[in-house]
Amino acid sequence: MAAFLATRPASAQMSDPRYPVCMRTYGVQVGDRMDCVFMSLDQCQASALGLPATCLLNPYFAPRSVRPHRVER
């Protein structure tokens, strides 16, 4: 029973697959979270300036596939 109580519940995916860069914040004042809302590392780093945070590539990023144009005959 103690082992059951000591386990943490599974967490949902925190990364938005539409954005290639995430900012991980941590600490008592800002909380511990992952915000995947950035299109570039530079954009993320500018937002993270002065925060206990780090920017990283989104491991769940799924770029939209570009469909080739069909040639009309």
More confident residue, 42 or 12: 42
Calpha distance 57→42 (Å, rounded): 12
List pLDDT tens digits, range 17-53.
Answer: 999 999 999 988 878 999 999 999 999 999 999 999 9
pLDDT of 5: 44
Contact between residue 50 and residue 72 where contact means Cβ atoms under 8 Å apart: no
Count Cβ atoms within 10 A of the Cβ of residue 36 and give its class: 0-12 exposed, 13-18 middle, 19 or more buried.
buried
pLDDT of 67: 67
Q: For the whole prediction, is pTM greater than 0.75?
A: no
Quote the strand ranges of the chain, DSSP E. 21-25, 33-38, 53-57
More confident residue, 1 or 54: 54
